[in-house]
């Protein structure tokens, strides 16, 4: 019976991709291991290898087709003795035909993003954007790249360094095109040596250069955390204001998908504990761009926490010559009067979904995107809680000593008399991140948990 | 372990060169004497003030190692950066930082280089290109490599002189830095001050490769062992290394064989070595006595040398006076300099 070749996934989170190229023609003989096609997403290209022998019977998806869903049959292989007449007998798509080769470099080939629609159902206008501004739709990945490119054009002291940022175009393709525009002097591939290159970056920054140091993920930055905290964060103070450093440490933080405990930790609470650092963790594409530009210009060390799951998400970014969002300002993205939900980064996904659900039950949630964790915009939180009398925090990190705990303390300190219920925290479960899909889902917060917490504080 | 043949031709891993190093002029000898004396007298005074309780916390004295920084400084040009670890008072004075500001930082006063907020291990001077003063063993090696990265980025012809001890030489980030420095041909001189003891642990008990000049072999970084008690040998090696860096050939390692007379810090009982060992080095190799004896042999009068000593003592005494009378930082300083 003819065998179907299915559209493979480059990663567990990939939902669709482009069929870039067929390397075999219909009627051509195929041996196991032959590369028959190339597929790509916006971050990577991969070869499709045949695992079966025979003849390429029919190409079902022509090359150049975009957005082919994973598991769609893309071709049929005829076994020895079969002919085109047997094609009709091909099994249903569920059958296993050709498997994709596993991603080559585990470190680089972390899951590709979902090609999801704009995540933010923004009800409130963005105060940073003048009315009538033309907006362009772009992915968060592109917004980050544009922010770096614009700042590099503006200031020759800005440079980018990290693993795979140059030739490879970024492990997550965030630095795509920067090497081509700015050259190897300013876009620097480092060896796999986080502790060392973080220190090199800080040393360069002490002389007045403005490094943007990319960590492939913040999980690997634990190797470098001594330089980040002891050298970058404390030197200004220890030198009596004489010598500080303007440096951005950026990269994906928190849980991706199916990468297990060592690659899934949220460091929001860790870095936001440290005076001398600023910590930014945006959610929307516009905020990613405007805040990264602000971070690069900031004279202090800034930890810029990105989220890998969001990289492929698209959003509206203002088409302005110089769109910079000030660090330290939260944003009310949805107005409401019954309960305040406070989150940041990918936690906003759950928060906004929950707000939609709650609205169906007549509960109007006010959703605050914190955007910056240090300095924290206490005023926006407190003003909202004074209005609603109830608050829920949402974070992917652990609850103990977490950012939610800090927010709850600030609400207690500043708005205790306005509270109608204790502050509720929705957080990552108190376990290392498991690998199994069902357990991983359980370990992360969910919109349902946010809904439940919001109803609880509303006594509903 | 021998250096690779290829590297050996152009990048020797020499033992100290045979024979005497190039002679100093009388002016150079006098400058070296004066600068080394300043460090020694300053450190002696710091030790006294520590004993009196005027200096708190940690206080790591540089006595015995003076020829290293003074010789290196004589090999540098304007704009070259210096960075080191926590045994840093000598480096600061050698770069020309003001004794009052250093001593007042030791006593935690507002006139200190860091307004009293850094202390013994954390002082900086942009003006003198001194980048600290770092309390985490080995951290300055990556940072110093970053200074060299900046020199390279700016093509300014300057060299970063990155000092660390035989103890720090075993830290992982040192080798991460060596790798990048050679890969990118960064102008950095790694000066390993081998004073034979990492705190209380003798080199032989902590280091598999005790020839520190070879620590860059696997990265093809040339290295040289230098008599760190002879200021002339230090200067000559420093010039050679600086020329190598400025020619765009990348980093260079200098192992300075030196000795610390005092304990690791003020609270060190120094049970790990004998009094005789210390006395022997002092007697046979003291860097200041070497210069003094050469000057006397060159018919400089005892009175002239005494005058230098007296001038140095005046500076040190004035710094001690300043450091004990300068007010503590204003309470409002607690909250400043966290962010710019």
Asked if the Cβ–Cβ distance from B113 to A242 is below 8 Å, we say: yes
The residue ranges of chain A whose pLDDT is under 70 are 12-13, 88-123
Residue A159 pairs in a beta bridge with: A211
Residue B142 phi/psi, 5-degree rounding, is -70, -40
Told to judge if A313 belongs to the known catalytic residues of this protein, a careful annotator would answer no
Cα A100 from Cα A106, distance rounded (Å): 15
The per-residue pLDDT for A108 is 46
Does the pLDDT value for residue B252 go beyond 90?
yes
Q: Which of B186, B339, B340 to mutate to test the interface with A (most CBs of A within 10 A)?
A: B339
The per-residue pLDDT for A168 is 96
pLDDT tens for A5-49 read 888 887 766 778 899 999 989 988 888 888 899 888 877 778 888
Give chain A's end-to-end CA distance (angstroms, integer).
58
Does the pLDDT value for residue B34 go beyond 70?
yes
Catalytic pick among A142, A151, A163, A194: A194
Does B265 or A150 have the greater pLDDT score? A150
The per-residue pLDDT for A48 is 85
Q: How far is B320 from chain A (nearest CA, A)?
A: 21
Q: Where are the alpha helices (DSSP H) in B80-138?
A: 89-94, 99-106
Tell me the pLDDT of chain B averaged across its residues. 94
Of all residues in chain B, the percent with pLDDT exceeding 90 is 91
User: ipTM for the complex?
Assistant: 0.93
Chain A with chain B: Cβ pairs closer than 8 A = 139
- The whole-angstrom distance between residue A379's C-alpha and the CA centroid of its chain comes to 27
The per-residue pLDDT for B231 is 98
- Eight-class DSSP state of B295: H
Cα A422 from Cα A16, distance rounded (Å): 43
The per-residue pLDDT for B333 is 97
pLDDT tens for B165-201 read 999 999 999 999 999 999 999 999 999 999 999 999 9
Residue A10 phi/psi, 5-degree rounding, is -75, -20
The per-residue pLDDT for A88 is 66
- On whether any CB of chain A is under 8 Å from the CB of B311, the answer is no
Pairing state between β A16-22 and A35-40? antiparallel
pLDDT tens for A321-333 read 899 999 999 999 9
Residue B284 phi/psi, 5-degree rounding, is -90, -30
Distance (Å) of CA B177 to CA A39, B169, B253: 39, 11, 12
Q: How far is B190 from chain A (nearest CA, A)?
A: 14
Does B282 or A3 have the greater pLDDT score? B282
- On whether any CB of chain B is under 8 Å from the CB of A236, the answer is yes
Of B122, B133, B142, the CB nearest to A200: B142
For helices B287-297 and B26-51, give the axis angle rounded to 10 degrees: 140
Of B124, B134, B180, the CB nearest to A200: B180
Asked if the Cβ–Cβ distance from A241 to B336 is below 8 Å, we say: yes
* Joined tokens for residue A267: 């460091």
pTM, entire model: 0.89
The per-residue pLDDT for A97 is 39
Told to judge if A194 belongs to the known catalytic residues of this protein, a careful annotator would answer yes
Does the pLDDT value for residue B11 go beyond 80?
no
Q: Which of A152, A182, A187, A196 to mutate to test the interface with B (most CBs of B within 10 A)?
A: A196
* Residues B204-210, mean pLDDT to the nearest whole number: 95
The per-residue pLDDT for A70 is 87
User: Which residues of chain A have a CB within 8 Å of the CB of B139?
Assistant: 199, 226-227, 230-231
Q: How far is A8 from chain B (nearest CA, A)?
A: 38
């Amino acid at each position: 019976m003819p065998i179907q070749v299915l559209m493979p996934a480059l990663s567990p989170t990939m939902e669709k991709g482009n069929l870039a190229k067929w390397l075999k023609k219909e009627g051509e003989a195929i041996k196991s291991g032959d590369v028959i096609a190339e597929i790509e997403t916006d971050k990577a290209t991969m070869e499709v290898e045949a695992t079966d022998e025979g003849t390429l019977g029919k190409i079902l998806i022509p090359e150049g087709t975009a957005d082919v869903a994973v598991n769609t049959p893309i071709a049929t292989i005829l076994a020895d003795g079969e002919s085109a007449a047997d094609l009709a007998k091909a099994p249903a798509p569920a059958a296993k035909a050709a498997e994709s080769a596993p991603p080559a470099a585990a470190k680089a080939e972390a899951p590709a993003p979902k090609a999801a629609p704009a995540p933010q159902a923004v009800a409130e206008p963005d105060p940073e954007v003048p009315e009538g501004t033309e907006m362009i739709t772009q992915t968060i990945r592109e917004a980050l790249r544009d922010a770096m490119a614009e700042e590099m054009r503006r200031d020759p002291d800005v440079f980018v360094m990290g693993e795979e940022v140059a030739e490879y175009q970024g492990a997550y393709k965030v630095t795509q095109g920067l090497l081509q525009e700015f050259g190897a002097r300013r876009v620097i591939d480092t060896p796999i040596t986080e502790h060392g290159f973080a220190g090199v970056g800080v040393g360069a920054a002490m002389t007045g250069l403005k490094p943007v140091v990319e960590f492939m993920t913040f999980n690997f930055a634990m190797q470098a955390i001594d330089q980040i905290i002891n050298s970058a964060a404390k030197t200004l103070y220890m030198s009596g204001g004489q010598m500080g450093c303007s440096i951005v440490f950026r990269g994906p933080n928190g849980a991706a998908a199916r990468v297990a405990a060592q690659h899934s930790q949220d460091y929001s609470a860790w870095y936001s504990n440290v005076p001398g650092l600023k910590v930014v963790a945006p959610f929307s594409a516009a905020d990613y761009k405007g805040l990264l530009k602000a971070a690069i210009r900031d004279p202090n060390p800034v930890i810029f926490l990105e989220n890998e799951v969001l990289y492929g998400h698209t959003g509206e970014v203002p088409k302005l010559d110089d769109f910079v969002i000030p660090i330290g300002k939260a944003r009310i993205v949805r107005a409401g009067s019954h309960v305040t939900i406070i989150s940041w980064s990918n936690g906003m996904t759950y928060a906004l979904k929950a707000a939609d659900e709650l609205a169906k039950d007549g509960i109007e949630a006010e959703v605050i995107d914190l955007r910056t964790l240090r300095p924290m915009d206490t005023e926006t939180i407190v003003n909202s809680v004074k209005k609603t009398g109830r608050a829920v925090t949402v974070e992917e990190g652990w609850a103990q000593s977490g950012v939610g705990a800090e927010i709850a303390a600030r609400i207690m300190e500043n708005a205790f008399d306005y509270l109608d219920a204790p502050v509720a925290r929705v957080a990552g479960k108190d376990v290392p991140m498991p690998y199994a899909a069902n357990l991983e889902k359980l370990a992360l917060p969910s919109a349902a948990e946010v809904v439940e917490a919001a109803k609880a504080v509303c006594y509903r | 372990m021998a250096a690779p043949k290829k590297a050996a031709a152009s990048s020797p891993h020499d033992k100290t060169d045979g024979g005497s190093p190039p002679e100093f002029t009388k002016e150079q000898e006098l400058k070296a004497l004066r600068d080394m004396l300043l460090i020694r007298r300053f450190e002696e005074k710091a030790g006294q003030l520590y004993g009196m309780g005027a200096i708190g916390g940690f206080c790591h004295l540089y006595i015995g190692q003076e020829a290293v920084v003074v010789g290196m400084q004589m090999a540098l040009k304007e704009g070259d950066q210096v960075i080191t670890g926590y045994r840093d008072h000598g480096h600061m004075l050698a770069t020309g930082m003001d004794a009052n500001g250093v001593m007042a930082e030791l006593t935690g006063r507002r006139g200190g280089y860091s307004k009293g907020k850094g202390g013994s291990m954390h002082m900086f001077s942009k003006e003198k290109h001194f980048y600290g003063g770092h309390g985490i063993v080995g951290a300055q090696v990556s940072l110093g490599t970053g200074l060299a990265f900046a020199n390279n980025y700016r093509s300014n012809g300057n060299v970063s002189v990155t000092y660390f001890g035989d103890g720090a030489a075993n830290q992982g980030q040192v080798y991460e830095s060596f790798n990048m420095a050679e890969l990118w041909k960064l102008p950095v001189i790694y000066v390993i001050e081998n004073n034979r003891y990492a705190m209380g642990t003798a080199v032989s008990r902590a280091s598999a490769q005790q020839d520190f000049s070879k620590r860059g072999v696997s990265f093809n970084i040339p290295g040289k062992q230098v008599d760190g008690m002879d200021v002339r040998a230090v200067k000559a090696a420093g010039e050679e290394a600086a020329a190598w860096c400025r020619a765009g050939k990348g980093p260079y390692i200098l192992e300075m064989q030196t000795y610390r007379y005092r304990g690791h810090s003020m609270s060190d009982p120094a049970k790990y070595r004998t009094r005789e060992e210390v006395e022997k080095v002092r007697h046979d190799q003291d860097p200041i006595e070497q210069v003094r004896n050469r000057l006397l042999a060159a018919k400089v009068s005892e009175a002239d040398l005494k005058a230098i000593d007296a001038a140095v003592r005046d500076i040190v005494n004035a710094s001690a006076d300043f450091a004990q009378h300068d007010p503590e930082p204003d309470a409002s300083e607690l909250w400043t300099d966290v962010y710019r």
